[in-house]
Amino acid sequence: MAKMSRPSAVNKGAEEARNQLPDLLAAAARGRSTIISRHGRPVAALVPIDAYRPGIRQEPLLPLAGSGRGLWGKASARTLRKLRDEWER
């Protein structure tokens, strides 16, 4: 099974990246990533949109649908009062 190779990221300084932004955007559209550094330290990455994935996805809430009856025990008012008191300490 052949492994697909990813093009390596290009490194650019902040000033150079600012001056070449249209070219870097075109490169991103073609699938090439760019690491942007300031004073030699990487601070940002310009990546193709297909490579960008937010770290946390919102899980659907539909499976949690229901009345919530019994969620706080038989004396829900007392349980909630204890929780509120705990936060006021």
Q: What is the pLDDT of residue 7?
A: 58
Q: Establish if 45 belongs to a structural domain.
A: yes
Q: Are strands 34-38 and 10-13 parallel, antiparallel or unpaired?
A: parallel
Q: What pTM did the predictor assign?
A: 0.52
User: For the chain, how long is the longest CA-to-CA vector?
Assistant: 66
Which residues contact residue 48 at a Cβ distance below 8 angstroms, ignoring those fewer than 6 apart? 28, 29, 30, 31, 32, 33
What pLDDT score does 8 carry?
A: 75
Check which CATH number belongs to the domain holding 25 and give it. Answer: 3.40.1620.10
Query: Residue 84: inside a domain, yes or no?
Result: no
pLDDT of residue 51: 83
Walk along the chain (89 residues) and give the pLDDT tens digit of each residue: 444 445 578 999 999 999 999 999 999 999 999 999 999 999 999 999 888 876 667 777 777 767 677 777 788 888 888 888 777 76
Please indicate, yes or no, if residue 25 is contained in any of the structural domains. Answer: yes
30 found inside a domain: yes
Are residues 27 and 51 in contact, defined by beta-carbon separation less than 8 angstroms? no
Decide if 72 is inside a domain. no
Structural domain tally of the chain?
A: 1
Provide the pLDDT for residue 67: 67
12: closest CA among 42, 48, 32? 42
Burial of 9 (0-12, 13-18, 19+ CB in 10 A): middle
